[in-house]
Structure 1
Amino acid sequence: MKPTTTNPVWPLVTIVALCHNHAPFVREALDSILAQTYPNLDVWLVDDASTDDSGAILREYAAANPAWQTIFLPANVGNCTAFNQAFRRAGGEFFIDFATDDVLLPSRVAEQVAVFQRLDATYGVVYSDAELIDEASRPVRHHYRRDGQGQLHPRPASGPVFAEVLRRYFISTPTMMMRRTALEHLGGYDETLAYEDFDFWVRAARDFQFHFLDAVTTQKRLHPASMSRRGYRPNDPFLASTIRVCRKALVLCRTPDERAALAERVRWELRQAVRWGNFREAADLHALLREIHAVRPLDWVLGKYARLRK
């Protein structure tokens, strides 16, 4: 029997494959979708106005796989809007936001669906470890550090993780599988932001639990064009979004521990902003620390310095 969206054994999983100038990597990415052992996939190829050969490659794969859907955006709109274009049309019970410079390992979807089927509806996200690879697909290291016995120290958080996602970055974004109801609850990604993951973690973790699957399910590409390589440099386009998410988080905090976790994050962002000369943003971060009532002596000095330099 062909699996359907109503078959409880094989719930439909939507993979939103987001592409912007990934021509050197997109074939490997799309081949990894074809290699999935899971039988009930809803694949959307979204090209965010690529200027290289990505569009031609996506059309080639779509022609060879008629069930795959395509969206070719006429102008570059960024990850948040591009993902939402597919999310609002797709029918999956679960979603994977898949950048086409990364690679899904063959059992990725099957493993994560199996975990979701053991969890109750309060869990909105299953995430895992990732293998980091270079531009030639050579392994570099894993996302999480392990000891000589292969144990994680500390083990990534499961359950209610709101304070943890405020305090530090620990989730490998490409490994996430998201429950549709969680995305619907949030209205999809916030399209006013320059990037999606921090905002999604904060808003989703307020109302849904997360589960860590101790397995490597994904290969994440490291290359010079990645956001992480550009972060915190002068005129960083993502820092303003980070500050906006921190302000959203302050509204969502309910306990002193959560506010302390947010202060820890804002304090770290303040130091990075000053270090890289983003003085206007540093002044905004210092003002946010004052709203949290968490200014320490060094924070006061950095805030004063930033206000003089902005």
Structure 2
Amino acid sequence: MSAAAVLPLVTIVALCHNHARFLRPALDSILAQTYPRLEVILVDDASTDESVAVLREYAAAHPGWQTLLLERNVGNCTAFNQALARTHGHYVIDFATDDVLLPERVARQVVVFEQLPADYGMVYSNVRLIDEAGRLQRLFYARTAAGQLHPAPASGWVFEQVLRRFFISAPSMMMRRATLEALGGYDETLAYEDFDFWVRASRHWQFYFQDEVLTEKRLHPRSKSAQTYRPHDPLVASTVLICRKAAALCRTPAEWDALAVRIRWELRQATRWGNLAAARQLYALLHDLGQVGWADRGIGVYLKLKK
């Protein structure tokens, strides 16, 4: 039996929607992986550019790669779940095809994961943030003069931390399939997946931060994150739902307080960008939790006056 045969199978779900401009570097980065046991599925969520042609070209050149070419746009969560159901990897990477995997990405994360106890559901790492031309802008985790990373990563039981602040770069994640299956995959009622996955997974599974740069995340104006909080933004509506789900999972006063910090931050962003419908829902949730402070009441008055 070869050494590769005993290594865990890793699934890469390559999700594409109108990424034709960035597809070749993304798919080439899969081919450049040093890890020998990969299962690759190329998913197109009803692109209207030349993405499908590129995906078919790569699939034809690499017969072991699967394709899932959706005729209508179903969104990341549903597209990912449909792909996941067709795969078998012990570990899973949700790979947006406007990003880039560095050659040692899979190999290095598998080494870490295989050394962790079975209750670790996700490993994540540092990320290079690049522009549309692939030029380095900065690292997701910057190191201070004292050698500390900012934002501060966290490992272990991180549920309270996940509620309180944003400290994980989603493109860096490798997930345990057992964790995804226990959660029923991504929530298909939502417009995005990462915050909800972090909340639900961290309640029952530990997370681990790997202090290495293994991924490049592309920053461009058409990305979902670049459009967040504007009026009618479906991401904010999903954030409200996720916060409500998180409230049902809280068990301690510290967790309730952490969730209130998150809701308060989301409330201010939604108000700032004029998404008043979402802001009112967030304010109502803060009120339901008994967490409305004197500073929050000023926003509440403003939201009433703007009706």
Tell me the TM-score range normalised by the shorter chain: over 0.9
User: 1:44 corresponds to which residue?
Assistant: 41
154, 160, 163: which one pairs with 1:163? Answer: 160
Per-residue deviation at 1:154? 5.7
**Residues 69/2 of structure 1: CA separation in 2 closer, same or farther (3 Å cut):** farther
For the residues of structure 1 that align with 2:151 and 2:84, how far apart are their CA atoms?
34
Per-residue deviation at 1:151? 3.5
User: 1:94 corresponds to which residue?
Assistant: 91
User: 1:290 corresponds to which residue?
Assistant: 287
User: 1:236 corresponds to which residue?
Assistant: 233
110, 126, 129: which one pairs with 2:126? Answer: 129
User: 1:59 corresponds to which residue?
Assistant: 56
**Residues 234/153 of structure 1: CA separation in 2 closer, same or farther (3 Å cut):** closer
Using the TM superposition, name which of 294-303 and 20-29 deviates more. Answer: 294-303
Using the TM superposition, name which of 210-219 and 293-302 deviates more. Answer: 293-302
Q: Contact 1:282/1:303 (CA < 8 Å) preserved in 2?
A: no
For the residues of structure 2 that align with 1:188 and 1:178, how far apart are their CA atoms?
11
For the residues of structure 2 that align with 1:197 and 1:126, how far apart are their CA atoms?
13
State yes or no: 1:24 paired with 2:21. yes
**Residues 282/126 of structure 1: CA separation in 2 closer, same or farther (3 Å cut):** same
Superimposed CA distance per residue, residues 67-121 of structure 1 (whole angstroms, 9 cap, x where no aligned partner) = 0000000011111011011111100000000000000000000010100111011
Using the TM superposition, name which of 61-70 and 151-160 deviates more. Answer: 151-160
User: 2:297 corresponds to which residue?
Assistant: 300
State yes or no: 1:190 paired with 2:187. yes
| Structure 1 segment 201-240 matched on structure 2, within 5 A | 201-240=198-237
Q: Contact 2:46/2:73 (CA < 8 Å) preserved in 1?
A: yes
User: 1:271 corresponds to which residue?
Assistant: 268
Per-residue deviation at 1:153? 4.5
For the residues of structure 1 that align with 2:44 and 2:273, how far apart are their CA atoms?
33
Residue 135 of structure 1 aligns with an amino acid whose one-letter code is: E
Superposition RMSD on alpha carbons, in Å?
1.3
User: 2:255 corresponds to which residue?
Assistant: 258
| Structure 1 segment 71-86 matched on structure 2, within 5 A | 71-86=68-83
- Stretches of structure 1 that go unaligned for 5 or more consecutive residues are none
Q: Contact 1:38/1:110 (CA < 8 Å) preserved in 2?
A: yes
For the residues of structure 1 that align with 2:86 and 2:197, how far apart are their CA atoms?
19
For the residues of structure 1 that align with 2:147 and 2:32, how far apart are their CA atoms?
27
Per-residue deviation at 1:227? 1.3
Q: Contact 1:280/1:307 (CA < 8 Å) preserved in 2?
A: no
Residue 118 of structure 2 aligns with an amino acid whose one-letter code is: A
Secondary structure at 2:153 match in 1? coil
Q: Contact 1:3/1:40 (CA < 8 Å) preserved in 2?
A: no
For the residues of structure 1 that align with 2:16 and 2:150, how far apart are their CA atoms?
34
**Residues 35/75 of structure 1: CA separation in 2 closer, same or farther (3 Å cut):** same
Superimposed CA distance per residue, residues 24-52 of structure 1 (whole angstroms, 9 cap, x where no aligned partner) = 11000000000000000000000011111
Residue 248 of structure 1 aligns with an amino acid whose one-letter code is: K
User: 1:103 corresponds to which residue?
Assistant: 100
For the residues of structure 2 that align with 1:28 and 1:157, how far apart are their CA atoms?
31
Secondary structure at 1:71 match in 2? strand
**Residues 3/89 of structure 1: CA separation in 2 closer, same or farther (3 Å cut):** farther
Per-residue deviation at 1:304? 2.6
**Residues 70/121 of structure 1: CA separation in 2 closer, same or farther (3 Å cut):** same
Q: Contact 2:231/2:276 (CA < 8 Å) preserved in 1?
A: no
Q: Contact 1:93/1:179 (CA < 8 Å) preserved in 2?
A: yes
Residue 91 of structure 2 aligns with an amino acid whose one-letter code is: F
Residue 56 of structure 1 aligns with an amino acid whose one-letter code is: A
For the residues of structure 1 that align with 2:2 and 2:63, how far apart are their CA atoms?
16
For the residues of structure 2 that align with 1:69 and 1:179, how far apart are their CA atoms?
20
Secondary structure at 2:141 match in 1? coil
Per-residue deviation at 1:307? 2.9
User: 1:10 corresponds to which residue?
Assistant: 7
Scaled by the length of structure 1, what TM-score is found? Answer: 0.96
Per-residue deviation at 1:155? 3.5
Per-residue deviation at 1:234? 2.0
Using the TM superposition, name which of 15-24 and 147-156 deviates more. Answer: 147-156
User: 1:70 corresponds to which residue?
Assistant: 67
Aligned residues: 307
